Chains A and B, each alone.
Chain A
Amino acid sequence: MIDRIFDVGYRRLDAGPRHRFAPWPIARTALLLAWRRRATKVGLLFCLGNVVLYGGLIIFQVLMQRFDNTGMADAALAEAVFGTAQEVLSSFVQVQFMTCAIALAIVAAGFVADDRQAGAFDLYFARPLTRMDYAAGKVLATAAVPLAALVVPAFGLWFVAVGGTSATHGAGLWSLGPPTMATALCGTLWLTGAVIGLSAMGEKARAVGAVFVALLLGLSAVGEALPAAGYPPFGYLSPVRDLRTVADALLDVGSRSMGVALLHKGGPLNASAWGSFLALVLQAALGFGALGWRLRREVVG
């Protein structure tokens, strides 16, 4: 076994530094695989549809305010019909939250479940990866969808509103940026945590997607019905209601205009915006916890 002369000997590949951020390639592969499916494109098309719709509303408002003084437009009437910038942004975040949930059920349900089913953990963890690298990669890939479809467009709508309107009207809109982003990030956090947690628990992407949508609808139904029946604390179970409460508190929406109400029917709110925020964070944390539990169970660390 040992008295043997080898042909060339071992030579290390000259590939530069070997300490790169491992989650990137994991996220990139997951997103690349998702992008190859037609259903993903359809789901994202729905998200784009919302952006176009609400973008149109914002642009209309901007134009009305710009030409308010010229007598060619009536900004007050436009606000009464199509809502204030606050209303449009708040409504967009809530509607896009639901659309993103459906898109995520298609795109991200298999991110961990498919790996488990295919036995891809063997390939990943025979490499210098930690469980944290893998989890971060999958979370990044999952979060990319709501970040791209919810947070970035919300920022874009606000930017258009601020940049396009006249200086007098624009001054009041600057302060809407951080609350809009905060609300969108709350939604992103919940969506990411919930879908990645369910993906870690399930084995088939379609089943995980169906359970995710059913969970969202089920929690929302319970969270709306029980408070109406006299049990207000159950309202915190509904992520939709929680997000509505957070959005309302942060953006100070107030009365609803006719146009926005047509696109998005509001509803009762929870008593505490902080309570709703904590409920969203807690539910998301449960999802991340499920991912951690699964990896601890299946992967030697």
Chain B
Amino acid sequence: MISVTGVSKMFGVVRALNEIDLTVGPGVCGLLGPNGSGKSTLLKLIAGQLRPDTGTVRLLGQDPFALPAALRDLGLCPEQDRFYEDLSGFEFVEALTRLHGLNVEAARQATRAALDRVGMSRDGLKRMGEMSRGMRQRVKIAQAIAHDPRVVLLDEPLNGADPVARADLIRLVRALGDEGRCVLVSSHVLHEVESMTHRVVLVRAGRMRAQGDFLKLRELIEDRPYRITIELDAPEARAFAARLVALLHVRSASVNTDRTVEVTTVALDAACQEIPAVAAELGRVVVRFTSPDADLESLYRYLMHDD
């Protein structure tokens, strides 16, 4: 649905994006990177608001710069949230929805449905200036989905939302992806992206650092073995550690307490399968199995902060 090929973008002497290649299909995809990494520039390029210096951008197979009509199936939720303070949320969404060619009645119907979907059917009649940041965030998302787009770009959609609203918005984003829309979410909050999707795109200093399922990407980082902490139901950690060291993928094993062992391994999947079996050979049961660096945060840390 989104195809970016060899795209570079300069702002004066600053290279904001450098030879980016990216393909995003239906479902939710997280766009991650530190401030200034080029995430917003990439979203603007996809939305047809910036023209690349080199390379091509295709939105649903069309060039968004040459054909504004290609933007008919795009919904954009930009990062800034102070637009028309004197309009109600309903009027704001309706006005923008009408720009997609919907007549007044259809636009109102679509607006009601979108506000209802983001949980703003009652508060949507408030003035935008009177809304909390979380409410404005929901209204912004409503205007992005009201016209039923196939591609939705969300720039920091959870900013300012309270915990309950965040949980609701995460559910909404997942639902949008489950409906077959292509949802590209830019965010700084890694655990929230992780709860939306496993598919991520990591951008650093304008360059593509990685893209794909973050669990599979994590497996590709061979120089950073997984740490796994295993707790047994009985104090036999020493014998258990001795057996674990014999496994091919285990790099090291250390005894933390008489029931707890910490191992490092290069293959998390294999470890998940074999470690309980080793425990069973000793007549023991694994009561706790945790890996602190098999999540998105550790992947991000390794790829974005380490050289």
Contact = CB atoms under 8 A, between A and B. Distances in A.
Interface of A: 1-2, 4, 6-13, 15-20, 22, 24-26, 28-29, 32-33, 36-37, 118-130, 299-301
A277 B49 CA distance: 39
Contact of B180 (A8, A33, A120): A8
A20 B49 contact: no
B96 interface: yes
Given A123-B96, A123-B143, A126-B48, A10 B181 contact: yes
Interface stretch (B31-39, B64-72, B219-227, B260-268): B64-72
Nearest to B211: A1
B48 A300 contact: yes
B153 to A, nearest CB: 8
B147 A13 contact: yes
19 contacts: A1-B199, A6-B26, A10-B179, A11-B179, A13-B147, A15-B102, A18-B100, A22-B101, A25-B99, A29-B91, A37-B86, A119-B78, A122-B44, A126-B48, A127-B68, A128-B68, A128-B71, A130-B68, A300-B49
Contacts of B181: 10
Contacts of B179: 6-11
B99 A18 contact: no
A2 B24 CA distance: 10
A18 B101 contact: yes
Given A1-B27, A25-B95, A125 B49 contact: yes
A18 B72 contact: yes
Residues of B in contact with A, size category = 35 or more
B213 interface: yes
B80 A122 contact: yes
Given A123-B83, A127-B99, 19 more contacts: A1-B25, A2-B25, A4-B26, A10-B181, A15-B106, A15-B110, A17-B101, A20-B102, A25-B98, A28-B95, A118-B84, A120-B84, A126-B49, A126-B74, A126-B75, A127-B72, A127-B100, A129-B99, A300-B51
B148 interface: yes
A13 B112 CA distance: 13
B122 interface: no
Nearest to A117: B82
Given A7-B179, A18-B102, A300-B49, A33 B148 contact: no
Contacts of B82: 118
Interface string B46-75: 011111000000000000010011111011
Given A1-B27, A4-B27, A33-B84, A125 B180 contact: no
B76 A122 contact: yes
A84 to B, nearest CB: 45
Tell which of B82, B98, B175, B181 has the most Cβ of chain A within 10 Å.
B98
A37 B143 CA distance: 24
A32 to B, nearest CB: 7
B103 interface: yes
A6 B17 CA distance: 32
Contacts of B153: 126
B74 to A, nearest CB: 6
A120 B78 CA distance: 9
B160 interface: no
A40 B99 CA distance: 25
Nearest to B50: A300
B71 A127 contact: yes
Contacts of A29: 84, 87, 91, 95
List the 7 closest A-B pairs by CB distance, nearest first.
A18-B101, A13-B148, A126-B76, A25-B98, A15-B106, A36-B86, A6-B180
Contact of A32 (B71, B76, B91, B96): B91
B150 interface: yes
Contacts of A25: 95, 98-99
Contacts of B25: 1-2
A26 B95 CA distance: 7
Contacts of A8: 178-180
Contacts of A37: 86
A5 B65 CA distance: 32
Nearest to B96: A123
Contacts of A129: 68, 71, 99
B212 interface: yes
A22 B148 contact: no
Nearest to B104: A25
A121 B102 CA distance: 20
Given A6-B26, A8-B179, A128 B69 contact: yes
B80 A125 contact: no
Contact of A20 (B27, B96, B101): B101
Contacts of B65: 300-301
A10 to B, nearest CB: 4
A299 B65 CA distance: 10
A73 to B, nearest CB: 50
Contacts of A120: 83-84
A24 B153 CA distance: 26
A125 B175 CA distance: 26
Tell which of A4, A127, A299, A300 has the most Cβ of chain B within 10 Å.
A127
Tell which of B49, B91, B103, B110 has the most Cβ of chain A within 10 Å.
B49
Contacts of A11: 148, 179
